[in-house]
Structure 1
Amino acid sequence: MSLLALNNIEVVYDGVFLAVKGISLGVPKAGLVALLGANGAGKSTVLKSISGLLKAERGQVTRGQVTFDGEDMLALDPPERVRRGLVHVLEGRRVFEHLTPEENLLAATSMHADRAKVKRLVDEMFARFPRLAERAKAKAGYLSGGEQQMLAIARALMTEPKLILLDEPSLGLAPFLVDEIFDIVRRINAEAGVAVLLVEQNAVAALELVNSAYLIDQGRIVMSGTAEVLASNPDIQDAYLGGGAKHVDYHAVKHYRRRKRWLA
């Protein structure tokens, strides 16, 4: 049974623009799943439909179901979804720049009444992210991009989530920092059993991290499967992985392109 399931989701902005068209996907418990696609394909919109953040952008889920741990999420507001164990790390990190890393972590603990538990969680985050512990008293705005991304992930973990929605964690980071961030995500998944739905344009790094992936194009899912299957597909290699394979599977290419025409 999936921890998260989207069934035929449609999202409309301003009551007229259909941005997401019949999306269905699933994330298993403790799973690592990627949602890949080009800029403007609808990746971030899918995440916001799950976390409930569409309303601030005049968006609305007009059709379909979002269920999390067997419960309908569409009837719940964003804070209640967080209490259920679903947390969203937004693109661009969005840390509170005027606060220290420790204060950023504390800002995510309003759901915890036990102060001893809050202190334990802060200590756990600093143990998991030693670089944040070193910069605990600095203003978050003065942290490097990689450190801010670590802080955004640590702040999300303070809610003790079952699932993290992670939007473009590699954005603006040097390749060695991308490797470090993705290694952190891998360890969180393995050690804490936290499921991850990763939205990412860096398909090479994403497919090395996850177990399965979906490809979204113009608001529709056009391909899905294991990370190995998507990484070996010649169309995926040409468009997202920097070059095609020598031995082209023309049947897969025809099927993918035909499916794109059907869905257009």
Structure 2
Amino acid sequence: MEATTANGNLLTLNNVEVIYDGVALAIKGVSLAVPSGGMVALLGANGAGKSTTLKAISGLLKPERGEITRGELHFDGQDIERLMPQQRVRRGIVQVLEGRRVFEHLTPDENLVAASAVTGCNRAEVVRRRDRVYEYFPRLHQRRSSQAGFLSGGEQQMLAIGRALMTQPRLLMLDEPSLGLAPFLVAEIFQIVRRINQKEGLSVLLVEQNAMAALEVVSHGYLMENGRVVMHETAEAMKRNPDIQEFYLGGKEGRDFHQVKHYSRRKRWLS
């Protein structure tokens, strides 16, 4: 799974700009990098541009009438901007969309097998990949014969991640995986993703509103506001930053990440 780029980054975005419907500027000059084998968080409030950034990487902008109009997008040293989403999946890029989108009428077993079809692997390889998913997510193995629509929210999120793993990715992008889940489930899922990262060298780009949970498992974070990256630091430095503590980690004024959309106070990270 390891990339061979000279600078050690599997994914790089340089000054990327995205426009919807030819007029609405969604992200403005975004630059970020995901190291080979690294875990990076992309943080920000609703509407900051986080999901748009992921779709720019996975190639899912066009169905929503979005397009990259400026900047460079490289994966493993290659320009991927003109590749179709399916081609990006074959290169090793996979996005787990917000909302746990699984085939509810199928069992977890059937969901996993269906997800492997995009890579065209043989039956023996499908079984090997499926068993690997069950090793990481034993709950899914216990529920493998149930309809996915009857799984709990946490189990459906595990299945969504398991489906992504069936494509044998090199970069796993997770869009708000904690949404609607109890804190203990969030911690469990994030620790499993961290174990996959450490065991297999899988690079992870994690989009989250739950900054506290995200910063516990990643090495670095980017903070987005109004379509721009306004901060890039190590996870430890971000946790110590007083503005991050106040607005995103539940500071003394009681404001949290889900409530804040605009910041009226001076941003120390911009000074």
Q: TM-score range by the shorter chain?
A: over 0.9
What residue number does 1:203 align with?
A: 211
User: 4+ residue runs of structure 1 moved beyond 2 angstroms?
Assistant: 253-258
Return the TM-score normalized by structure 2: 0.90
What residue number does 2:141 align with?
A: 133
Change (3 A) 1:163 1:38: same
Unmatched segments (≥5 aa) in structure 1: 246-252, 259-264
Q: Distance in 2 between matches of 1:142 and 1:229?
A: 41
Answer whether contact 2:230 2:270 (CA < 8 A) is retained.
no
Amino acid at match of 2:33: G
Amino acid at match of 1:43: K
Unmatched segments (≥5 aa) in structure 2: 1-6, 254-265
How many residues align? The count is 251
What residue number does 1:87 align with?
A: 94
Amino acid at match of 2:213: A
Amino acid at match of 1:216: M
Matched, 1:229 2:242: no
Q: What is the Cα-based RMSD across aligned positions, in Å?
A: 1.3
Q: Distance in 2 between matches of 1:237 and 1:222?
A: 16
What residue number does 1:256 align with?
A: 269
Identity within the alignment, %: 65
> Superposition pairs for residues 1-264 of structure 1, below 5 Å?
1=7, 2-110=9-117, 111-243=119-251, 255-258=268-271
Q: Distance in 2 between matches of 1:13 and 1:88?
A: 20
What residue number does 2:261 align with?
A: none
Q: Distance in 1 between matches of 2:134 and 2:144?
A: 8
Amino acid at match of 2:76: D
> Is the partner of 2:48 in helix, strand or coil?
coil
Answer whether contact 2:17 2:70 (CA < 8 A) is retained.
yes
Q: Distance in 2 between matches of 1:176 and 1:254?
A: 32
Q: Deviations over 1:154-205 (max 9, x none)?
A: 1100111111011101000001101111111111101111010000000001
Return the TM-score normalized by structure 1: 0.93
Q: Distance in 2 between matches of 1:234 and 1:11?
A: 31
Q: Distance in 2 between matches of 1:75 and 1:257?
A: 34
1:256 is displaced (CA, Å) by: 2.3
Q: Distance in 1 between matches of 2:22 and 2:120?
A: 37
1:73 is displaced (CA, Å) by: 1.1
Amino acid at match of 2:208: E
